[in-house]
Amino acid sequence: ATDKDTGNYSAMAYRLIIPPIKEGKEGFVVETYTGLIKTAMLFHNMRRSYFKFQVIATDNYGKGLSGKADVL
């Protein structure tokens, strides 16, 4: 995400909106301040060919305005 503000108001915090994948386990994680999305489990023997979830970016280190995007 990008923000035209300066200082802390342009610093983003990211979080995922995703249901648990298997047995209540999270399938993906996001690094809070970089937005890098990583897998949190091995996806062997999965019947799904894709995953869809949302990522929310909030400025001012997670205390300001936010926007969301679909990840496929």
Give the DSSP letter of residue 33.
T
The CA angle 59-17-72, to the nearest 5 degrees, is 100
For CA atoms 19, 23, 25, 28, give the dihedral sign: negative
Q: Encode pLDDT of 6-35 as tens digits.
A: 877 789 999 999 877 767 778 899 999 999
In the chain, the domains with their CATH numbers are 7-71 (2.60.40.60)
- Over residues 28-61, the pLDDT tens digits come to 999 999 999 999 888 877 787 788 999 999 999 8
Is the model's pTM score more than 0.85? Answer: no
- CA separation for the pair 55, 8 (Å, rounded): 20
